[in-house]
Amino acid sequence: MALWSAWLPDVLPHVPNCPVPLVEHELKRSAQVLLEASRIWRIDLDPAAVPAATVMLSPVMDDPDEQELVRIESVLFDGKPLDLRTPEELDAEAGDNWPSHTGVPTAYTLLSPGIVRLYPVPIDAATTGIEFRVSVKPADTATGVPDEIRTKYKEALTAGAKSRLMLYKDKPWTDYNLAGVHASAFESGVAKATLDAARAFGRGRIPSRPKWC
């Protein structure tokens, strides 16, 4: 785990007299923006029990103090991948009464980024459970990010924090011109992370546990 303090030597010299907690806050905010936009930080959650007749489910973070859900990326039911379908697709494929269908789940719909509806509704309890692969970002209470994130996106997060800090009004470190320069560098970093994610996760199934580009 790379703590926010690991970035201080790269940020503090550019924002004179800026309080350390404020620097760490803006580093966290920059990480949240980059990781939510790119969905590059992905984890496999432990299997969860699914009783018979369960309709809706939500993933539970392993460490909610450090991680916040961005999106459900894929779902396994008893070890088998479920297809993602929209309600409209299920209307066309299974009829408009599909919510009442029961059987062995073969698909799911996303009711929101963090809630899935199983189709059909399981008639029996799952044997090995349901497994979610999710993209995450730092929670508001997070103390840092994985070392791999720092290694890969250190410069982007440094630029993001400096940009945000330099936009503070009437501070010794205020610099609107440089803020724009750093904002452009941060946006380039977000674009790179998004491309990295597309290359890593865009084809086939990805290995278990976190996968880094």
Residue 209's pLDDT is 39
Residue 202's pLDDT is 65
Cα–Cα distance, 81 to 150 (Å, whole number): 31
What average pLDDT does this structure show over 155-171? Answer: 98
Task: Give me the sign of the Cα torsion angle 169, 170, 173, 175.
Answer: positive
Query: How confident is the prediction for the chain on average, in pLDDT?
Result: 93
Under the banding of pLDDT at 50, 70 and 90, the label for residue 91 is very high
What average pLDDT does this structure show over 144-163? Answer: 98
Residue 96's pLDDT is 83
Place of tokens 């597309």: 198
Residue 148's pLDDT is 96
Could you tell me the pTM of the whole model?
A: 0.89
Q: How many helices (H) and strands (E) does the chain have?
A: 5, 12
- Tens digit of each residue's pLDDT (9 = 90 or more) over 40-79: 999 999 999 999 999 999 999 989 999 999 999 999 999 9
Range 39-72 burial, b when 16+ CB lie within 10 A, else e: bbbbbbbebeebeeebeebebebeeeebbbbbbb
75 phi, psi to nearest 5 deg: -140, 135
Instruction: Please compute, for residue 32, the number of CA atoms within 13 A of its CA located in the half-sphere on the CB side.
Output: 16
